[in-house]
């Protein structure tokens, strides 16, 4: 879905993916700490409202809503840069795409992992920007294992 929550009529250009692959292989991407990662949500598990502050975030659900869990999903608040990271309202939209699809959005979008009511939800998460002179070397691991991980990085299944 695009920013207007509509299905695009044309697929992305294949050259886009070749360019992203090259940036990844040559360590030209700055990743959010501990990412790419798999976030696991158990009953009552959630990830509070926040902005990622990087160019793009990609979320890929690994389990189907309604089959593996109820509740959950990714909540989004309208307003982008004008919206606080701690909004006092309910999300404008909660998306629960099927396993294997991707949500892609900019780092200034306020979002959250909504509480799971029952079951288990897992999501592949990666937020990234292109490398700059100010990039932290610990966040430029490309094809190499990261030199350090945060205490809350639990690895992948």
pLDDT tens per residue across span 60-111: 999 999 999 999 999 999 887 788 788 888 999 999 999 999 999 988 889 9
Q: How many CB atoms lie within 10 A of CB 31?
A: 22
Taking the C-alpha atoms of residue 7 and residue 150, their distance in angstroms, rounded to an integer, is 36
Taking the C-alpha atoms of residue 100 and residue 40, their distance in angstroms, rounded to an integer, is 15
What integer pLDDT is reported at residue 100 of this predicted model? Answer: 92
Kind of pairing, strands 93-95 and 74-76? antiparallel
pLDDT tens per residue across span 31-43: 887 788 898 898 9
Highest mean predicted confidence (pLDDT) among 41-55, 56-70, 75-89, 124-138: 56-70
Whose tokens are 């920007």? That residue is: 129
Among candidates 17, 56, 22, 19, which has minimal Cα distance to 143?
22
107: Cα within 13 Å, side-chain hemisphere: 13
With beta carbons less than 8 A apart as the criterion, state whether 18 and 12 touch: no
Q: What is the CA radius of gyration of the chain?
A: 16
For the chain, the average pLDDT equals: 79
Q: 131: which 2 tokens? A: 């490398």
- Considering the entire predicted model, what is its pTM? 0.72
Among candidates 42, 73, 71, which has minimal Cα distance to 59?
73
What integer pLDDT is reported at residue 147 of this predicted model? Answer: 36
What integer pLDDT is reported at residue 76 of this predicted model? Answer: 94
């Amino acid at each position: 879905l695009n920013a207007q929550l509509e299905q695009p009529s044309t697929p992305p250009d294949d050259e886009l993916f070749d360019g992203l692959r090259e940036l990844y292989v040559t360590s030209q991407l700055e990743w959010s700490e501990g990412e790419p990662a798999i976030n696991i949500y158990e009953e009552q598990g959630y990830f509070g409202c926040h902005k990622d502050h990087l160019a793009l975030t990609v979320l890929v659900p690994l389990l189907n809503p309604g089959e593996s869990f109820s509740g959950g999903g990714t909540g989004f608040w309208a307003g982008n840069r004008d919206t606080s990271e701690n909004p006092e309202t309910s999300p404008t939209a909660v998306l629960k795409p099927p396993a294997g699809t991707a949500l892609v959005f900019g780092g200034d979008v306020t979002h959250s992992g909504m509480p799971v009511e029952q079951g288990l939800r897992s999501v592949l998460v990666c937020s990234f920007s292109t490398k700059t002179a100010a990039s932290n070397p610990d966040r430029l691991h490309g094809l190499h294992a990261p030199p350090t991980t945060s205490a809350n990085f639990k690895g992948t299944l």
